[in-house]
Structure 1
């Protein structure tokens, strides 16, 4: 098996368990023939030589900041063929101040609606845990990342995502109207999408607030397949 180079970039807000979450997938990457490099900040993105040698970036950095040089390096690497993937806030809520980063990944976390007011517990992260459905789209039913995956239920944060139509949406989730929320019709957000950027591929999966959600069979299957699909292809070499 030809060795491929995977770069794990992790850090940012600790509430998304960037170390424990990325450790879930290291055995899969090793078994799939990747040499793995781990960085605890996005500083590596400004290293053009290191990025050119990287076939796949797995990012888990919620919020935090990246310099213009770092974001420029990341965009250049993906445009040249390096794959980029991640889950939840580690990719869809990173580097909020960088519009160039948001354009690259194609979606930005806006909110995760809360439970009924009478069920809220002050200071509990479970205030935003809701039962909801991930629904595979028609495209998703045919795509290598999600083919054969059926619609599935989760009880965790349900991401409301701001996005654009350059994304190829493989799965969605719908936020219903509720009397304690101000919106007036159901809102459907992408839950899994791909995005082509130059010769590179981007895959975003929004479930993944905690490592146990990453261990859900359907979530894990989608993320692992997404890693393989996003990886630099021969045509991008």
Structure 2
């Protein structure tokens, strides 16, 4: 039996490929000593016995709703030291109307700008924009992003509302555009960590689908982030 326990909670909007994206990281977790349990509902968070024995939660649940008992259990588990991690809409576009969840995660997706009107084709790629993920000064020295240079992606570029408790390891900047209503460039966090009680929270906003998560830089950041978030001293 492995020495650590990971709980993968997945579901919500299927366009973010919750099954396929979490399956991408199951071998990595197994190779790093995790026993893995998979749940298709956030109600598992209300099970105090399971949560107390969980070292890392990997969540991929876009949109959806969460019960009062589940969010209470999730917050209590993180405060007690369980790590909480995820990518893209599976963590920053989850449970939109629950303020307790938003406070825990420290950021909320609000938009991914589309291409210019003359480039719109009416398909899923309309929101895939070329952009850069910029490693911050903090990120250059952090174990999650150390050694990774600024890199380019063509995928959804998340505009995120956030607070100052986050330690931001990477950002992305939305340029001012004549076809959009904002008047100056807007920088959003793209990778951040957050301490909550004895627990650690890790978020990466790139990760719309398996193709993005297979990008060498994104995959390295997520894999390091999962290990970083796991309960301290559990290895």
TM-score, normalising length: structure 2: 0.98
Instruction: Measure the CA separation in 2 of the matches of 1:76 and 1:226.
Output: 21
Match of 1:181 in 2: 180
Cα deviation code 1:24-81 (max 9, x no counterpart)? 0000000001000000010100000100000000000000110011001000000000
The gaps in structure 2 that reach 5 residues or longer are: none
- Quote how far apart the aligned CAs of 1:125 are: 1.2
Counterparts of 1:79-228 in structure 2, within 5 Å, are 79-122=79-122, 124-228=123-227
- Quote how far apart the aligned CAs of 1:3 are: 1.2
- Quote how far apart the aligned CAs of 1:142 are: 0.4
Instruction: Measure the CA separation in 1 of the matches of 2:174 and 2:192.
Output: 18
Match of 2:14 in 1: 14
> What RMSD, in angstroms, separates the aligned Cα atoms of the two structures?
1.2
Give the secondary structure class of the aligned counterpart of 1:140: helix
Instruction: Measure the CA separation in 1 of the matches of 2:68 and 2:164.
Output: 25
Is contact 2:85–2:226 with CA below 8 Å preserved after alignment?
yes
TM-score, normalising length: structure 1: 0.97
| Residue 55 (1) aligns with residue 55 (2) | yes
State the aligned residue count: 235
Instruction: Measure the CA separation in 1 of the matches of 2:197 and 2:222.
Output: 22
Instruction: Measure the CA separation in 2 of the matches of 1:103 and 1:211.
Output: 28
The gaps in structure 1 that reach 5 residues or longer are: none
Instruction: Measure the CA separation in 2 of the matches of 1:117 and 1:3.
Output: 53
Match of 2:64 in 1: 64
